[in-house]
Structure 1
């Protein structure tokens, strides 16, 4: 559809919506979604019934709503799909992380005295890639080599370019044919398992430092953590983690005198170098031994200075809303039957995805589900995770928000005040589509002050 036709269609949709008698209620729904780009449309009702008498006390139905639906946020965590909902997820993650550093949300403030580290675990090298290096505020040449070697494919392994931060070559191999695409994909797929082995080794090392068995350690100290996965431009994940030493009852109890930040830091360094994961030996692919990269960053978190609780919480929360888009892949699953050459992919990402398809076809590697997670370059773990005793949960934070919204509806008279123990709530909901029409998307962006979604210019629309 030509752009002029799209604009005309959008303007007509805006005029129709603005003249709708239910426009005010529609606008209230849009504001309630906080600018969600692809709100979910629900059709149904909610009845409040007196348990003792069976009397209908209150009924909400979408029949009286604009278009006969209720629009609710999509609640995705991905900023590339919905910046508004991703911002809510980022803010919730920030509160969760910071509560484990300074207290709040059910965590005592005494947790600030517990040894706590900010740790970054990286992937190993799979080949030399274009990078941006800085020193004292000056950008340095990428990979300058006075006597650079020539690889077997005839490429000189040197780059003297001072790359800008938005240079599309960043993360691309100097020689794609020399790059270990197999190792990169397998590392992503097994990074969650490597993290699990790391945490097990961490506990064993702390117990050994204290002269205790693992069972005895549980009676004196516990290790809590929260982590987030971040994609590097070269297409592999690394983990940022907050790791904290607590007493036997978690953050509510102080750790023993021997449990210091130095003990924890030593355990982190040991566990990082000690653990490996070996892939199955397939007929067309030998076994690979995977381990963490040599680059390891271990720093204490303080209440003041460069690495404060606010800085760490903000850093982790930011990456909790991102995925592999920085590598140049797609934000959706890719069918193996798709023509990769026709998709809008960076060449490096295209090769990584093709390698996922190749390895995923091997029976011995089927459990890694590389085909299903090819768009994520093999990584299928949760981006943001925490141990059970770190702090509050995202579920609790969302429950508090729901309670607040319910109390506000009672205060404004939209919902009657009732005793939950004596009232039966029966809800019936059906999915009725998602998203906006062209005109609605423009109006929603104006109402909420959010960026105009791509669907407003590409012809996307809502389904009802």
Structure 2
């Protein structure tokens, strides 16, 4: 367990003066409820921003009314119980983010290899891993591969109408702050960028409908009867590129008409699915709402469209394997707009955007969201509410219903594993009555230090365990 270090003590000329964190630590360790609070923190993995609840739950035998179990927070420290915040963002709560990434790994992997209620036959169904990117809204600085060409080499040093160079002779490394920044902010189409992020989710929905039409066309089947032959399932994760534009990674699978338990038709091959994905991606388009200030724009996918057939883990000669895809998706589900230089909390005013701790490119995108959000014709996009996400309004991960299990089911399995069945409830039909209310959230200074130590200890223990077992989650 990690305790507050001397490095956090403020500089003082008074010998023996304690910092605020140290005084808070002395207070909480002398509290009679400290041992039980520590147990609560360990049970929630050292959550960085726990939610505190007050209430009770009672389980009775449905036939006799006999009380089997009863729990009340009046016996807890402060008469409250700490539960996880369940925030998926690594920047907000690393412990909950790691847990969410692990659940995502198993959610995606079970749709590729089976398990968690999905039969193993899905590994033989046609499956592809798709990456759909955003179009260009102007040249930006990009990462240079080791030994590769410069960022944007140009002969003769040409300039744009604003007098800025149209090329960049530098070799940018991974942490270079210029990555993702436009070569000329005046030439960059910020309006198109914002409208793209706002309509990317709708474009994905249109893409799924178009993909079903393309598969039906390739098989010579009437589109209205495609459901009699197959079912299309997917799991998709949204990621922010360094330039702040959304793009999608997705696993797409063809099942039989009854879902994962049924075999797809023989003519549904990975090659046919790959060709249909490329055709559908090239044809689908979304028109933005018309406004005199922006006109009406047509949004399409960018030119970089990658489609790879997913191989079984037994084929180790390729990186596009079941476990590799699951780990890749799980890694990105913990990220957020903060990883591209943005913020994770909503902006309440234009002044708040002006003083936000973001780079100039991201600030301009946010300000454009705020400006466009004030237009009556674009009210449906709700851009001001989503200025902090650069206009994107969708969930980070979505999946079709039949793809695999759910986050709720995974959490229930984990809870059952940790607590085990209660002896009094075995073989009985029970009824549960609960009443809970929110009473607070977060940590004090010393509590945050202790929780951080618990989280680090648990993460290190899991990392060592995965190294020993060779688990695919070692990449997370």
Summarize the Cα distance change of 1:187–1:439 in structure 2 as closer, same or farther, 3 Å threshold.
Answer: same
Counterpart of 1:431 in structure 2 is 438
1:275-330 alpha-carbon deviations (Å, 9 max, x no partner):
11111211322111110001111111112222111110000111111111122111
Summarize the Cα distance change of 1:295–1:311 in structure 2 as closer, same or farther, 3 Å threshold.
Answer: same
Q: How many residues align?
A: 444
Q: 2-side partners of 1:194 and 1:52: how far apart?
A: 53
- Residues 27 and 447, structure 1, Cα contact 8 Å, conserved in 2: no
Q: CA RMSD in A?
A: 2.1
Q: 5+ unaligned residues in a row in structure 2: which ranges?
A: 1-7, 460-476
Q: 5+ unaligned residues in a row in structure 1: which ranges?
A: 411-415, 453-464
Counterpart of 2:355 in structure 1 is 342
Q: CA deviation at 1:161?
A: 1.0
Q: CA deviation at 1:71?
A: 0.6
1:441 aligns with 2:454: no
Matching residue within 379, 385, 394 for 2:407: 394
Q: 1-side partners of 2:277 and 2:413: how far apart?
A: 35
TM-score, length-normalised on structure 2? 0.89
Secondary structure of 2:425's match? coil
Q: 1-side partners of 2:350 and 2:142: how far apart?
A: 33
Counterpart of 1:43 in structure 2 is 54
1:276-315 matches, within 5 Å, as: 276-303=285-312, 304=315, 305-315=318-328
- Residues 236 and 248, structure 2, Cα contact 8 Å, conserved in 1: yes
Q: CA deviation at 1:50?
A: 4.8
Q: CA deviation at 1:230?
A: 0.5
- Residues 127 and 310, structure 2, Cα contact 8 Å, conserved in 1: yes
Q: 1-side partners of 2:69 and 2:278: how far apart?
A: 60
Counterpart of 2:371 in structure 1 is 358
Q: CA deviation at 1:331?
A: 0.9
Summarize the Cα distance change of 1:448–1:269 in structure 2 as closer, same or farther, 3 Å threshold.
Answer: closer
1:242 aligns with 2:251: yes
1:7-46 matches, within 5 Å, as: 8-46=19-57
1:70-95 alpha-carbon deviations (Å, 9 max, x no partner):
11100111111111111111111110
1:179 aligns with 2:188: yes
1:65-464 matches, within 5 Å, as: 65-134=76-145, 137-303=146-312, 304=315, 305-407=318-420, 410=422, 417-418=424-425, 422-449=429-456
1:64 aligns with 2:89: no
- Residues 111 and 122, structure 2, Cα contact 8 Å, conserved in 1: yes
Q: CA deviation at 1:108?
A: 1.4
- Residues 373 and 379, structure 1, Cα contact 8 Å, conserved in 2: yes
Q: 1-side partners of 2:428 and 2:380: how far apart?
A: 47
- Residues 218 and 248, structure 1, Cα contact 8 Å, conserved in 2: yes
- Residues 197 and 246, structure 2, Cα contact 8 Å, conserved in 1: yes
- Residues 132 and 139, structure 1, Cα contact 8 Å, conserved in 2: no
Q: CA deviation at 1:114?
A: 1.0
Counterpart of 1:458 in structure 2 is none
Q: CA deviation at 1:65?
A: 1.1
Secondary structure of 1:307's match? coil
Q: 1-side partners of 2:243 and 2:319: how far apart?
A: 28
Q: CA deviation at 1:425?
A: 2.2
- Residues 350 and 370, structure 2, Cα contact 8 Å, conserved in 1: no
Q: CA deviation at 1:261?
A: 1.0
